[in-house]
Amino acid sequence: MSLNVSLYKPLLMKHLFFLFAALLPTLSLAQQPLSLSDAIQAGLDNNYQIRIAAVRKGIADNNNDWAIAGRFPTINLTANSQNNYRNLSNPAGPLTGSNAFNTGITPGVDFNLLLFNGYRVKITKEQLETQAGLSANAQQLAVENTIQRIIQAYYNALVQQQQLEVVAEVMALSRDRVEYQELRQEYGQASTFDILQTRDAYLNDSANYVLQQNTFDAAIRDLNLAMGIDELNTAYELTDELALSADTYNLADLQERMLNSNIQLRGEYINRELANINTRLQETAFKPTVQLQAGATYNVGISFGEQTLSFGGNATTNEIPQVAAKTFQPFVNLSAAYPLYDGGARRARLENAQQEELVAQYTISDLKRALNNQLANTLATYNTQVRLVEVTTSLVDNARQNLGIAEERFRGGLINSFDYRSIQVSYINASQQRLTALFNLKNTETELIRLIGGLVR
């Protein structure tokens, strides 16, 4: 049974229409140029974790003040009101009875100054300053994580874009093969089977193109998310190139830079310093405290009511004169306290602080060991991937040249469509391997720079 190839032309045209319709929204989007540095700057401006870290740093900076540490005196205005009623009954005395109301007000001022508490104020100020440094380090860590995420998202989008270009190139070759075979059929040189094979290859390439376009669109959305762009479908023209520009690194130099500049390790150094400060704060509990209190009060009091006086059997009741009594009382007091016994609570807190200091040192040692191992592995992976990129680049060049020769041989009838398709697939696979190798190399290099603290200047 023979097949009428002309019946498949409407089907092919329908497929092309749907392919164009599926890609039209993407093609119609206005694309703005976007370099890696622009993407990083946008991410730093929009990232909420960086904003949160900045707010926390501001809080720590506000707390880093001598007033918070307790260095300065406190001055308070005070006012007290006194009101009472007195009912007196004393038959034996000349003042036999009294109903009196007393009212008054006592304004004043208090001055309190801590003179000495074992240098706790000075150590507390040092603690606040160190905490501000820890907040600044946390902000740098947030910036570092954001930069690394954007670099990975940008290069992933670039890889998917270039892979889309490779698939488009192969699809164009397949379309040319379809047109060539259709032309040969008009002259009776191509069979129905040949036409079906070339169209099958073209349809498969078209499907791959649609899938790759979706992968590229997803990579762009991930890039927008990393940059903090709310409109995730914003399209870009990625201007940076995904090329091999590998630097040579020395492990000893990298280790020295890592121990001095790694942000995570710097944070642990600060935590160790805070543990030491806390130990010194606990030691101040064993020292005396001396305080100065000064101030003045001014009391104004008024009594009113009636009182009964009895002299020789004659009793008289009189109103109490409403005369204001005024009292001014300045004072200066000095107090001192020395802790003698608290059941061992201070000693326990000091020992716990010393143990925390030891834990902080152990944490640093453990982190150094892990970072050294991670650095060595990352550098080894980096060197391997540099070589892999070189090999896959040669592989792509060889596959492209082989594809060009195969095109000529296919048109000359020296190879069949199966051989030609196999060479096409080899070219696609080689291109994918090279792009994957370049992407992995960029990610590894980014991780290497992050480990030595080079992402944040």
**Region of poorest pLDDT, from 28-37, 54-63, 315-324:** 315-324
Q: Which of 364, 374, 369, 384 is nearest to 448 (CA)?
A: 374
Dist. CA 398–CA 426, nearest whole Å? 10
Rounded CA-CA distance 227/218 in Å is 14
**pLDDT, tens digit, 9 for 90 and up, residues 298-317:** 988 887 777 777 766 676 77
Which pLDDT belongs to residue 4?
A: 42
The whole-number average pLDDT for the span 58-77 is 95
Domains of the chain: 5-72+117-288+344-451 (1.20.1600.10), 75-116+301-337 (no CATH)
pLDDT of residue 149: 96
Strands (E), 193-256: 236-238
d(CA 307, CA 319): 6
Average pLDDT rounded to a whole number, residues 29-43: 87
Say if residues 226 and 153 touch (Cβ distance below 8 Å): yes
For 444, residues 6+ apart whose C-beta sits below 8 A from its C-beta are 378, 381, 382, 385
88 sits in which H/E element: strand 74-89
The pair of three-digit structure tokens given for residue 61, joined into one six-digit string = 């900076």
Q: If DSSP codes are grouped into helix, strand and coil, which group holds residue 89?
A: strand
pLDDT at 92: 66
φ, ψ of residue 290 in degrees (nearest 5): -125, 130
Question: For residue 312, what pLDDT is reported?
Answer: 62
pLDDT tens, residue by residue, 151-208: 999 999 999 998 999 889 888 877 877 787 777 677 776 677 767 877 887 888 889 8
pTM value? 0.80
- Residue 157 CA to residue 213 CA, distance in Å, equals 11
436 Cβ neighbours under 8 A, 6+ residues apart: 159
pLDDT, mean over the chain? 86
Q: Produce one character per residue of 52-67: b if its CB has 16 or more CB atoms within 10 Å, e if not.
A: ebbebbeebeebbeee
Asked if pLDDT for residue 369 goes beyond 80, the answer is yes
Give the model's confidence band at 46: pLDDT under 50 very low, under 70 low, under 90 confident, else very high.
very high
| Percentage of residues of the chain with pLDDT beyond 70 | 88
Residue 457 has pLDDT above 90, yes or no: no
pLDDT category of residue 421 using cuts at 50, 70 and 90:
confident
